[in-house]
A and B are shown apart, each in its own frame.
Chain A
Amino acid sequence: MSRRVLAVLLENEPGALSRVVGLFAQRNYNIETLTVAPTEDATLSRVTLSTDGSDEKIEQITKHLNRLVDVVKVLDLHEAACVERELMFVKINAQGPDRAEVKRTCDIFRGQIVDVTATAYTVQLTGESRKLDAFIRALDRSAIIEVVRSGVSGISRGEKVLSA
């Protein structure tokens, strides 16, 4: 079992995404994160999804995705070197003596404070999912007010491309 990231080029049609999501539910595969947006070509969407499973399972998922009529191409990003990033916002209780501590932790992780009130900071952080997890762990659990994560987006390094 390992975490895997799949990039999927999809016809930008109504219902296309529901077929992808439906496939995972129907075949009892897990979706851990999912991001989707149109590409520079407005007729195509690009989905990045992370899941876990053995090599055989990932191969089956890939084949099933390819079988969907709306799916143009699928790439297992972990097949070769890739860049993966995730965006996170965390609203953190920052009052009294803790306020400086939150700021320091944020600096260590190269987070940006994007909103400030008298009692809270909202921190923006980008990076690999592991780094985001580490930031959460570094904070005092009870100080966290709200967390939102974008899910992973990824792209291959070097010459390798995913295009129609």
Chain B
Amino acid sequence: MSETLSGADMLVRALQDEGVEYLFGYPGGAALHIYDAIFKQQKVEHILVRHEQAATHMADGYARATGKPGVVLVTSGPGATNAITGIATAYMDSTPLIVISGQVPTSQIGTDAFQETDMVGVSRPVVKHSFLIRDCAEIPRTIKTAFHLATTGRPGPVVIDVPKDTTDPDITAPYDYPESIRLRSYKPAKRGNGRQLRKAAKALVEAERPIIYSGGGVVQGDAGPALTRLAHRLGAPVTNTLMGLGAFPGDDPQFIGMLGMHGTYEANMAMHHADLIFAVGARFDDRVTNNPDKFCPDARIIHVDVDPTSISKIISADIPIVGDALSVLEELDALLETELAGHSERPGAAASKAWWGQICEWRDAYGLDHVMKPREDGVILPQQVIQSLYRATKGNAYVTSDVGQHQMFAAQYYKFPEGRRWINSGGLGTMGFGLPAAMGVQFAYPQATVACVTGEGSFMMNMQELSTCLQYGLPIKIVCVNNQALGMVKQWQDMQYSGRHSESTYSDSLPDFKTLVEAFGHVGFRIDHTSDLDAAMDEAFSAKLKDKVVFVDVWVDPDEHVYPMAIKGGSMRDMYLNKITTSQQGDYM
């Protein structure tokens, strides 16, 4: 005999049965039956945020750090629309999210009732799937299906819109939580096609100038160790996308840095000159390829992705493999092992020595250490802030970031030892993501060191969550690379609009962040001289301040640009290397 429960109780019970630890949310009229059901139990902890956008980013940060789905609860109308930016952020970066929104009672849908928004309609382009509950009896199965969809295949956000009448405490139905779900219309790919795998293995052992280009799919698929094994077997250079950082260890000698718009010189040059690109869990994003017509002219392309729509969308693949990154990498590695058995080295190895020689030359000429020129007057460069953070945390922190120059500097200069350590909004580029995402990570791992690298502009987009940090005792360390401007916008204006800084500066009206965070009950430092940088960073991460939110407001050189930077319309080898040099003068091959 199954139990009989109200819709609200079923909803909360289903979350318990899914093993949900945290529900990030904010109450309102249409969700109040659900909130009452939450009040009556202890298993799922509700986290009261200060803005629904932050709830979705928190759940997203939690999901990215753990691989488990993040769960959000908001009310109808403004609660639901506030969540949209966070849903779109998760969608673009394929993170598993369950967003439950209250809705006006079924009888009022379509009447422009108070706080009515067509949430299924508004969210449609930015969800993997969505549901509108029509009857409380549907709730258990719908929740099971939502979790299944969010977490399998290419993960993504799923919205469940719940009209108030379906959670009425006086209307009950039997509660049976399904063990598993099968959908005839949804069968995500798992293993790669055997013939394609063999073709790929052959191409890999024969390649003379191979490069491994791995993306967020490898992080999402927890396939970093498998990728590392395969890369070591081949001895090929590895570059990661902004989303894929850490999947291959940042301090491994085979790692040649991030690629793309702000990728390293050596990674972009190596991509352009490669004869074989092995792309895994990456999508040839426009921030990577630059002009697709000029993309890597000599390269054959192996493209592995769990989502067939990613393959040959921008760049056509010579050997497409649809499958889960982990399964494909493991099978491919086994094939390589047999292929190489009995050979002292792989057929392409001799040529690859010259290839590595070339890559090292590129690195020595314009590697990251050479594009940054420390100043002698004590003015801090933003890159130095990240180097100091890396040193103080010994590379062991979870680092979230916001969007702008500081994000690119963090991606370039912090070396991540494994996947899920670097958490940023790559696809949508959502300012305001960093702090709430860091909070989600800290909820998941209370003992871990969690740092949020932010800009003063981005920080002000969700700083109300400092209050939530105090409520739940989340000791996030916030490193604010304060360049007194919307730095990335200003950089583009410098480079493309003759330095006309239209609406990108506000230095006269910035708050005193130290006092601001103190008002929220936290600790703040402000520094502006290189001689204070390491000491401040060490103190922020010291045992003494272990339980505190610490905000390090670092005033940096406002005129620094992020380099390298892709030259618009060019190929991957076309880059600005600093304010006066471009790579076009330094073409090696």
Contacts and interface: CB of A to CB of B under 8 A. Distances in A.
Interface of A: 11, 14-15, 18-19, 22, 26, 56, 59-60, 63-64, 66-67, 69-72, 164
Given A69-B129, A69-B186, 20 more contacts: A11-B185, A14-B132, A15-B120, A15-B130, A15-B132, A19-B124, A22-B125, A26-B125, A59-B312, A60-B309, A60-B312, A60-B313, A63-B309, A67-B307, A67-B308, A67-B309, A69-B128, A71-B185, A72-B184, A72-B185
Contact of B184 (A14, A15, A60, A164): A164
B246 to A, nearest CB: 27
15 contacts: A15-B130, A15-B132, A18-B121, A18-B124, A56-B312, A56-B316, A60-B309, A63-B308, A64-B309, A67-B308, A67-B309, A69-B128, A69-B149, A69-B183, A69-B185
B308 A66 contact: yes
Contacts of B316: 56
Contacts of B120: 15
B44 to A, nearest CB: 26
A15 B121 CA distance: 9
B103 to A, nearest CB: 14
A10 to B, nearest CB: 8
A60 B312 CA distance: 8
Contact of A70 (B121, B125, B185, B312): B185
Interface string B309-335: 100110010000000000000000000
A67 B91 CA distance: 14
A150 B128 CA distance: 31
A164 B183 CA distance: 11
Nearest to B145: A69
B11 to A, nearest CB: 20
Nearest to B308: A63
Contacts of A18: 121, 124
Contacts of B184: 72, 164
Contacts of B130: 15
Contacts of A71: 185
Contacts of A64: 309
Nearest to A65: B309
Interface in B348-398: none
A45 B109 CA distance: 25
Dominant secondary structure of chain A at its interface with chain B = helix
A69 B309 CA distance: 14
B40 to A, nearest CB: 32
A60 B311 CA distance: 9
A11 B309 CA distance: 21
Interface string B153-196: 00000000000000000000000000000011110000000000
A136 to B, nearest CB: 36
B124 A22 contact: yes
A37 to B, nearest CB: 18
A32 B128 CA distance: 26
A45 to B, nearest CB: 12
Interface centre among B183, B186, B316 (most CB of A within 10 A): B186
A18 B125 CA distance: 11
Nearest to A9: B185
Nearest to A25: B125
A72 B184 CA distance: 7
Nearest to A15: B120
Contacts of A60: 309, 312-313
Nearest to B124: A22
Contacts of B312: 56, 59-60
B132 to A, nearest CB: 7
Interface in B111-146: 120-121, 124-125, 128-130, 132
A22 B183 CA distance: 22
A26 B309 CA distance: 15
Nearest to A11: B185
Nearest to B185: A72
A164 B182 CA distance: 14
A83 B316 CA distance: 32
A3 B128 CA distance: 29
B18 to A, nearest CB: 19
Nearest to A23: B125
A11 B145 CA distance: 15
Interface in B559-574: none
Contacts of A69: 128-129, 149, 183, 185-186
Nearest to B149: A69
B258 to A, nearest CB: 27
A26 B123 CA distance: 12
Q: Return the 4 tightest CB-CB contacts between A and B, nearest first.
A: A72-B185, A69-B129, A63-B309, A63-B308
A164 B132 CA distance: 24
B317 to A, nearest CB: 12
A128 B283 CA distance: 40
A4 B292 CA distance: 26
A13 to B, nearest CB: 9
A109 to B, nearest CB: 40
Contacts of B313: 60
Contacts of A56: 312, 316
A25 to B, nearest CB: 9
A9 to B, nearest CB: 8
Contacts of B125: 22, 26
B29 to A, nearest CB: 24
Contacts of B185: 11, 69-72
Contacts of A14: 132
B82 to A, nearest CB: 22
A15 B133 CA distance: 12
Interface in B239-282: none
B221 to A, nearest CB: 17
Contacts of A22: 124-125
A4 B488 CA distance: 44
A70 B149 CA distance: 12
Nearest to B121: A18
Contacts of B121: 18
Contacts of B149: 69
A14 to B, nearest CB: 7
Nearest to A66: B308
A65 to B, nearest CB: 10
Interface centre among B129, B183, B184, B185 (most CB of A within 10 A): B185
Nearest to B310: A63
A56 B320 CA distance: 14
Contacts of A59: 312
A149 to B, nearest CB: 28
A17 to B, nearest CB: 12
B208 to A, nearest CB: 29
